[in-house]
Structure 1
Amino acid sequence: MRRLMFIFLMLIGIVSNAQTTVQGKVVDENSQPIPGANVVLVGKTEGTVTDFDGNFTFNTSQAPPFQLRITSIGFSDFVANVTSNNQTLSITLAEASTLLDEIVISASRTPERIFESPVSVERFGLKEIKNTTSESFYGGLQNLKGVDINTNSLTFQSINTRGFATFANNRFLQLVDGMDNTAPGLNFVLGNLVGMSELDVQSVEILPGASSALYGAGAFNGILFMSSKSPFDFQGISAYAKGGVTVQDAAGNNFYKDFGIRAAHAFSDKVAVKANLSVLTGEDWHANSTMDLNNPGADRSNPAYDGLNIYGDEVSTNLNFDAAAGLPSGTVGSAVISRTGYDEADLADYGAESVKSDFALHYRPFANDFEIILNSRIGRGTTIYQGANRYAVSGFTMQQHKLEIKNKNFFLRGYIVSENSGDAYDTRFAAININRLWKSDVQWFTDYASAYIPTYLGGIQQGGLTPEQASEQAHIAGRQSADTGRLIPGTPAFESAFNQVTNDGDLTTGAKFIDKTKFRHINGNYNFAHLIDNWADLQVGGSFREYVLNSNGTIFTDIDGPISYNEYGAYVQLQKKFLDDRLKFTGSARYDKNEFFDGFVSPRLSLAYTAGEKRNHNLRVSVQQGFRNPTTQDLFIGLNAGRAILVGSAPANLDRDVRTFNVSQSAQDNLGVPATVQIVGRAAYENAYSTSSLQAGTPQAVNTPLVKPEEITAFEVGYRAQVDRFTIDLSGYYNSYSDFLANTTTAVPFYGEAGDGGLSLLALQNGDYQIYQTYTNSDAAINSYGGTVGVDTKIGNFDFGVNYTYAELDIDEGKYPDLRTNFNTPKHKVKASFGNAALFKNFGFNVNYRWSDTYYWEASFADGDIPAFTVLDAQINYSVPSIKSVFKVGGSNLLGDEYYTAIGTGNIGSIYYVSWAINP
């Protein structure tokens, strides 16, 4: 690591001496400056961007004559001839329908037009942010082709591409100014809950699919890049204020507000600073489904009722009434009985909040593009997160602190990301342990049986009831008796128990989860193009990361102190043009090593060819391999989630999870087994039965392999074209997975050895076993494929676009019935947009339409079908240049048909808003 640092520090000193300087200003046809326009040397990778006033300065070692291509999204590109040093250019860009000439960085880590990108890429810039119909720029990303947004709550939306995702989407990477925005302990991105204020967003780029060759293990299924505005280029004070209402059947109408402010100032051409603050508050979407998970169609009269958004009723047992009363078998019988649960609304505060702040100091010691950046981001949020259970996340904070050194040829950055779970708690365990704090499970079921038996017998013997009628009355009497004195939400006794449980981090008695996990990361990249006379674009880079897991034993097996481990990687990429710059070759390879696994090489090859007399057709093909390391939870989790105990499969973790269980009285009396036994997590992998065989009545012993990295081979073809006023962009992909990361559930007997044919089977018969969830890999052949097609055009001054996405999973479900892939994406999606940024002077509008096909949602909380839905969003906006303001009125889900994107979440209603943005 020290050697790698030394190499990059040496590279910092290599700064080319500019020989030619070109200055200029870029404006639109109304003579208004165009900030953020790209100015790129034709045939090379060198470039710059215009500042807030449309001005730019470009330095290059290239001697005149040469050409500069100036582009900005929403405008036709312009090629300017440079014939002398210190030339000043005045450039006017005409508005156009083309979307393919905009410059992106993410696809190759170097500036290039979307048109020539070797892989699929989507971009969301300043114009899109202004015209978005969603209440936030982040929500507006769902209108891009190939992009899914699963709404977990009002402040937490999860972005995904090409399937395979739950809300804990650890297959999709999100970078904010180069920093990984993944919550270190949770292993996934919390949407924009603790991300970036829309006032500071300059552009958003999304790479669908695998990108491990350049970005490592986290870039397995897609990456989102958010880039902020430089305080050198975008100065002054800007602000916005939004207000409106959220409308939902379950929650009613509730006020929603969001405001933000950005301040940036360049004290000189060497020093600039900026600061941002945004605050959003509102009422979250209420989740109130009473569907019985185990018996759809049943209501709460079912003695074994287990409601979807009802918690505490997961605690159940098979009550043998005959054995309890000492009666002959078959007299009264037995039944599965669940404890009475609490509604989610009784356990969760639906107040949603997102507070984002950041500060950055930019220093250019030589007044050129060599820059040192110190950046700190702190976000706090309150939301509902759905994982294995539903978690009330209150006061969650995440911090990112970065030091970066860069110029146009290299960057070296080091940063730390840390999280604090605040007052977060598990709503399911809150309900379970409130019930137990009031009355133990043993006492509650005893009271139930004590009332059930005489009521049943009386109904048969004196009341002349049928067994079914007597049983129905007896169940009512049993529950009433067992629930006598039960804590009622809203009462002081309930609030006291609730506070006690939610401040207790032991899930056997409480519900709070504690997480102060962090990771440290350093990465760098150097482009040697300027040292080899721009013969090719040659880049090298590397990264190092150290995880420090710290949950005090509430999530990970770190009860005796934090757990640390690391991973590192390095890559190289060559990009070269041939045949009069029509053929573009890109080749890259990356080596990564996690301390628990063998190293892995991720290569990528692509060819792109620009055809046509006007160079307006581009065809591309690419193939790459990628991998995904097991997450921190895959490796070191040790959590009792209620229905199962989750034990990670890092070799060092197998013996860290030690739990004590009570043994049945029958086993104590007849087999001489102690009253309690200790089970080590290793047993879930080495001494267990598969739960599917147990449920089938034919127990089969299994040895579960330890988890290892998942691999992917991804193929992609694409075509882009600009034909008259039509922009066409289509792509198709085929992904083949091996060692697919998967979970299995096993049953660990409290005594005996699995497969012994004797003692362990008695343990299963006596109910003396525990269900565990293991982390492993499937040997199933898993493939996915699909494609997108998008067409954008101008009809008069009206913008119109439509796109279609297809996604399919290919797996032998009959051969692997227990495999849970969490593909979780519709087979068909259609999106369309229609608008006019200048319907008349200073007035514009935009309309977005989305249709999603029905699909099956599969996740640890619950599975089920998601019905097809249609969503219509719209906005109108009016600019007042004299006060540098834009006023907007809009709404999302204007049709009012509530829908949901995952089983267990609240229905998504409508949001109506009014906003005022100053100097946006």
Structure 2
Amino acid sequence: MRRLVIISLMLFGVFSYAQTTVQGSVVDEDNNPIPGANVVLVGKAEGTTTDFDGNFTFNTSEQPPFQLRFTSIGFSDFITDVTSNNQTLNITLSEASTILDEIVISASRTPERIFESPVSVERFGLNDIKKTTAESFYGGLQNLKGVDINTNSLTFQSINTRGFATFANNRFLQLVDGMDNSAPGLNFVLGNLVGMSELDVQSVEILPGASSALYGAGAFNGILFMNSKNPFDFQGISAYGKTGITSQEAAGDNNYYDFGIRAAHAFSDKLAVKANLSFLKGEDWHATSLVDVNNPGADRTDPGYDGLNVYGDEVADVIDFDSFAGLPTGTIGSALVSRTGYEERDLANYNAESVKTDFAVHYRPFGNDLEFIYNGRIGRGTTIYQGANRYSVDGFTMQQHKLEIKNDNFFIRGYIVSENSGDAYDTRFAAINVNRQWKRDLPNPNDPNERSWFGDYIGTYIPTYLGGIQQAGLSPEQASAAAHAAAREFADEGRLIPGTPQFESAFNTVISDGDLTTGAKFIDNTKFRHVNGNYNIAHLIDDWADIQIGGSFREYELNSQGTIFTDIDGPITYNEYGAYAQLQKKLLDDRLKFTGSVRYDKNEFFDGFLSPRVALGYTAGARRNHNFRISAQQGFRNPTTQDLFIGLNAGRAILVGSAPANLDRDVRTFNDVSLNGQQVIGQSSVQIVGRAAYENAFSLSSVQSGAPEAVNTPIIKPEEITTFEAGYRGQIGKFTIDLSGYFNRYKDFIANTTVVVPYYGTAGDNALSLLALQNGDFQPYQTYTNAEVDIDSWGGTVGVDTKVFGDFDLGVNYTYAEFDFDQARFPDFRPSFNTPKHRVKASFGNTELFKNFGFNVNYRWSDAFFWQATFADGDVPAYTVVDAQINYSVPSIKSIFKAGGSNLLNEEYFTAFGSGNIGAIYYISWTINP
């Protein structure tokens, strides 16, 4: 018995000696407790968390000395030594001090530091909004590394990453509080025209590159997340006012206004509401280029002139004057002749405007994290959109209504997005049909005495030319120039002059007409319904790993009354759905982070697709200040609503979508077959079905080369991408470094080709179809298909941020982007990469130069690049832009005053061929309770 007691005492002594207890508290820099902070034994999988009051007790068998690491979201890590048993520690965590410490949710659908994100991610938070030099927070995003903004209008800026973009950027997804902000019928985001008020933005996150594994088909080139302020956390009334001028050589100096107000109140710990209203108004950037898109060296005296920002002159044909004169071929010759057009400034509405409203109710039935949300958003705007043509979008309205239930572990939301095109119209067809209001293009077969423009032109040109040769002794060149001038002057008799009542009357009639053969209005009331959800089951498995599952369903309802889609007989509906799972696990003392995810998506027109993603991240260094990451993933992009069901005459070509059901829905009648009067099919009109563009056509390139080649164009299918990325993030002394590189391979790249459909004959018959081409009896069509070759793109970014001269912030970043494919194998492919190879951005500022006063300067340089899009192709020259602002805070009235300039030096530039030159915006602002 005595031996047993002795042994027990010895074991008790050993046991007592083996237990080490550490207790203490964790607070922030204001001495407020930090609940839920992690306390982890360095090198071991042991730890605890702080309670509501920030206190903790940690027991371990480890003997001192050892180290404990303290971490909490939004704060920098802290490591301290434990040297004895029963030691008490009072730890103060500092707020995240570098961009790498900021918290993001988008990369993994769960909160994590940018430092540990498995993929590239950019964040723009409240402090960045305060510092931004641009006239709006949305414009300030263009200073982030790897981010491009193409400015289409004062109120419409299109964001893109990693190339392949137009203003109709359906490769880039934008989510506003989880809702897809794409216009349903247009398939792309109109910038922040109908988005979020600056006062309500809590943070913006951008994921460059494919993210289909978590976010589905739309997340192909990247995603932008705009997250608003919760009324429980951000209460009170806030307001801002901005005023200034826009300055452009073509438009002069014009007033600019931007106002907003936000009100939020929590009635209790269960109910809170908020409302926002913002209004912006200014003069849009005028597009005034007169360059001839077909012959850049020509001027407006050229008979076939087709100006870039001149419309109506697309109505043109090659006229064989000898045929009409009954003379031998070569006597007078032939020429391309176009109708006289109108400049865009005479047709477009340049009164840019944006009105955004939203209202939200947040309800927490138990006063905890379970929350019910209703959010309604309505935006209305006037802007210019450059797509196949330049569209004056006047009174465009989009609505979003969402119901959501969520807590820290799950969410499920359902929402509807609908659009109304308002009084939007096509400026090109406005010009074409205003011309036709006062004089038809071609002779009227039912009334030979009715004058026509081309009839007048031909009837004047022939005798004038012959008289110049025979009577005035002019050379053929001189006679031709004089005859063309006289013919145009006579044919233009009665032309409506902009600014006159007659022009305004005809113009208003045309833009109110939705039939593009006589009008220019486009009608769009398309909508989609979307449901998605996500559940994190980590809490059910004792946080062994972070495991998420989720899914989504979407139904489209296309309704353009036949003005955009082939829905003349009623709305078109179709749907798609998807489901995903993701696992994240930390290993090796939390230094190694594994992320694996996979998603399955199915569109009713196509086979299902799997999108896997695998990523590894490793944190190195004694201070854990170096992170290396690699990732690989596959993604896909479904054809858009327009890829499938468009049926639009864009002037230069007819756009016809390639959904199997659409090929026979697009039916068009073409009158006045054969301008030269050769009725080879015995009738003056023909009917063409859209299927002919895919099954009975010549390639445009072969027709242009003089050796027509028949082509069969495959109908469209989803586009696939395989992407690899590697990167490094680290803190080296005073320098924060973030660099990444990527390689993308695209398969079945969604592409447009232009083909030529003969009015008669079968393409390739070497007979009647060739005669149709010879007679000018054909119609160009734009098809929607997939590239026959793989396309590769690659690039990288590097960003360095530091403090200089004490507490001045300095940041520099560089972006490189390039692509390649075998053009010889697919000569008609138009990649529309539309991205400069080199970009450099820099910022310099100080948030507290002296008490309450700060400033910031941004510099951007973009390399020259080639812009390729449906509207027009051309070079975009290199440009340099400097933005700057100064700000002064007055805490006593909770206000910030700011004065700044976007494109401060007013060196005009453009980001897309055919858009207006971007001038300067000079502004002052007053923000209350930001």
Q: 1:833 to 1:908 in 2, by over 3 A?
A: same
Preserved CA contact (<8 Å) 1:178 1:225: yes
Q: How far has the Cα of 1:91 moved from its partner?
A: 5.9
Contact 1:24 1:57 in 2 (8 A): no
The Cα of 1:335 is off from its aligned counterpart by 1.3
Question: Could you say which residue in structure 2 is the equivalent of 1:638?
Answer: 647
Counterpart mapping for 1:759-798 below 5 A: 759-795=768-804, 796-798=806-808
Q: 1:750 to 1:794 in 2, by over 3 A?
A: same
Paired residue type of 1:847: V
TM-score for both structures, normalised by structure 1: 0.92
Shift in CA distance, 713/516, structure 1 to aligned 2, threshold 3 Å: same
Q: Which residue of 1 aligns with 2:847?
A: 837
Amino acid at match of 1:710: E
Once the two structures are superposed, residues 96-148 of structure 1 have per-residue CA deviations (whole angstroms, 9 ceiling, x without a partner) of 4x211111100000111100000000000000000000000000000000000
Q: Which residue of 2 aligns with 1:877?
A: 887
- The answer on whether the counterparts of 2:320 and 2:676 sit within 8 Å (CA) in structure 1 is no
What RMSD in Å do the two structures reach over aligned CA positions? 2.4
Query: Is this contact kept in 1: 2:566–2:646, CA < 8 A?
Result: yes
Corresponding residue of 1:903: 913
Q: Tell me whether 1:503 sits opposite 2:505 in the alignment.
A: no
Match in the other structure for 2:613: 604
Cα 1:470/1:670, change in 2 over 3 Å: closer
For residue 93 of structure 1, what is the aligned residue in structure 2?
Answer: 94
Partner of 2:405: 405
- 1:621 is aligned to 630
Aligned to 1:436: 436
Deviation of 1:762 after TM superposition, in Å, equals 2.2
- The letter of the residue matching 2:929 is N
- Give yes or no for contact 1:309–1:343 (8 Å, CA) kept in 2: yes
Please state how far the C-alpha of 1:770 moved relative to its aligned partner.
Answer: 1.5
Structure 1's 78 and 281: CA in aligned 2 closer, same or farther, altered over 3 A? farther
Shift of 1:721: 0.4
**Of 581, 586, 589, which aligns to 2:590?**
581
Relative distance call for 1:670 and 1:115 in structure 2 (3 A) is closer
Cα distance, 1:779 vs. partner? 1.7
Once the two structures are TM-superposed, the CA of residue 430 in structure 1 deviates from its matched residue by 0.1
Q: For 1:696-723, what per-residue CA distance to the aligned partner results, in whole angstroms no more than 9, with x for missing partners?
A: 1211111111100000000000001011
Residue 919 of structure 1 deviates from its aligned partner by 0.3
Paired residue for 1:452, among 456, 461, 466? 461
Matched ranges for 1:215-614 at <5 A: 215-442=215-442, 443-614=452-623
User: How far apart, CA to CA, are the structure 2 residues paired with 1:172 and 1:286?
Assistant: 26
Closer, same or farther: CA 451–112 of 1 in aligned 2, 3 Å: same
Aligned to 2:85: none
Give the 5 Å matches for 1:30-45. 41=38
CA separation in 2, counterparts of 1:681 and 1:143?
Answer: 44
- Equivalenced residue count is 875
2: CA distance, partners of 1:491 / 1:723: 68
Equivalent-residue separation in structure 2 for 1:654 and 1:42 (angstroms): 64
Render the CA deviation track for 1:38-67: whole Å, top value 9, x for unaligned: 9764679xxxxxxxxxxx996999997898
* SS of residue matched to 2:455: helix
> SS of 1:379's equivalent?
strand
Inter-CA distance 312–404: structure 2 relative to 1 (3 Å threshold): same
**Residues 786-865 of structure 1 correspond to what in structure 2 (within 5 A)?**
786-795=795-804, 796-865=806-875
Contact 1:70 1:78 in 2 (8 A): no
* SS at 1:460 equivalent: helix
Paired letter, 2:277: L
Query: What displacement does 1:69 show?
Result: 3.1
CA spacing shift, 1:424–1:637, aligned 2, 3 Å: same
Relative distance call for 1:89 and 1:899 in structure 2 (3 A) is farther
The one of 688, 698, 701 equivalent to 1:689 is 698
Cα drift, residue 665 of structure 1: 5.8
Instruction: Assess if the C-alpha contact under 8 Å between 1:71 and 1:78 holds in 2.
Output: no
> Per the alignment, in what secondary structure is the counterpart of residue 489 of structure 2?
helix
Q: Can you list the C-alpha shifts for 1:629-663, whole angstroms capped at 9, x where unaligned? A: 00000000011111111110001111101111236
Decide whether aligned partners of structure 1 residues 243 and 548 sit closer, same or farther in structure 2, where only a CA change above 3 A counts.
same
Indicate if the aligned counterparts of 1:271 and 1:362 stay in contact, CA closer than 8 A: yes
The range that moved more, 586-595 or 813-822, is: 813-822
What does residue 876 of structure 2 align with? 866
- Contact kept, 8 Å, 1:885 with 1:917, in 2: the verdict is yes
Taking a change above 3 Å as real, the CA distance of residues 492 and 563 of structure 1, as seen in their structure-2 partners, is same
Distance (Å, rounded) in 2 between the aligned partners of 1:880 and 1:57: 37
Counterpart for residue 915 of structure 1? 925
| Aligned partner of residue 824 in structure 2, secondary structure | coil
Between the aligned partners of 1:769 and 1:405, the Cα distance in structure 2 is 56
Question: For 1:737 and 1:174, how far apart are their aligned partners in 2?
Answer: 22
Partner of 2:119: 119
**In 1, Cα distance between the equivalents of 2:582 and 2:734?**
35
Corresponding letter in the other structure for 2:888: Y
Structure 1 outlier segments of 4+, above 4 Å? 22-28, 37-44, 56-68, 75-81, 87-92, 665-672
Q: Which moved more, 1:102-111 or 1:681-690?
A: 681-690
Name structure 2 gaps, 5 residues minimum. 1-23, 42-49, 60-67, 82-87, 443-451
Percent of aligned positions with the same letter in both sequences? Answer: 75
C-alpha distance 40-860 of structure 1, shift in aligned 2 (>3 A): farther
Residues in 2 aligned to 1:345 and 1:756: alpha-carbon distance in whole angstroms: 46
* Distance in 2 of aligned mates of 1:498 and 1:833: 47
Please say if residues 240 and 915 of structure 1, whose CA atoms lie closer than 8 Å, have aligned partners that are also in contact.
yes
What CA distance in whole angstroms lies between the structure 1 residues aligned with 2:678 and 2:812?
Answer: 72
What whole-Å deviation, never above 9, does each CA across 1:742-774 have from its counterpart, x for those lacking one?
011112222222222322222222222211111
1:373-417 CA deviation, whole Å, 9 max, x = no partner? 000000001000000000000000000000000000000000000
The SS at the match of 1:601 is strand
How far apart are residue 452 of structure 1 and its match? Answer: 1.6
Separation in 1, partners of 2:758, 2:57? 78
* Worse-matched range after superposition: 243-252 or 668-677: 668-677
- Partners of 1:490 and 1:211 lie apart in 2 by 50
Which amino acid in the other structure matches residue 598 of structure 1? Answer: D
SS in 1 for 2:101: coil
Q: Quick check: 1:894 aligned with 2:896?
A: no
Rg bigger for which structure?
Answer: 2
User: Match for 1:93: what amino acid?
Assistant: S
For 2:486, the aligned partner's letter is: A
CA drift at 1:324: 2.2
2 CA distance for matches of 1:832 and 1:238? 31
8 A contact 1:39–1:71 mirrored in 2: no
Q: How does 1:8-23 map to 2 (within 5 A)?
A: none
Query: 1:505–1:280: structure 2 CA closer, same or farther, 3 Å change rule?
Result: same
Q: Distance in 1 between matches of 2:561 and 2:835?
A: 36
Amino acid at match of 1:313: D
Q: Secondary structure at the match of 1:100?
A: helix
The equivalences for 1:715-794 within 5 A come to 715-794=724-803
> What is the DSSP-based 3-state SS (H/G/I as helix, E as strand, rest coil) of the residue aligned with 1:760?
helix
Q: What is the identity, as a one-letter code, of the residue corresponding to 1:871?
A: V
The separation in 1 between residues aligned to 2:463 and 2:40, in whole angstroms, is 90
1:492 Cα deviation (Å)? 0.7
Asked whether the 8 Å contact 1:43–1:581 carries over to 2, the reply is no
Which residue matches 1:146? 146
Measured at CA, do residues 721 and 736 of structure 1 come closer, stay the same or move farther in structure 2, by a change above 3 Å?
A: same
Distance 1:908 1:582 in 2: 47
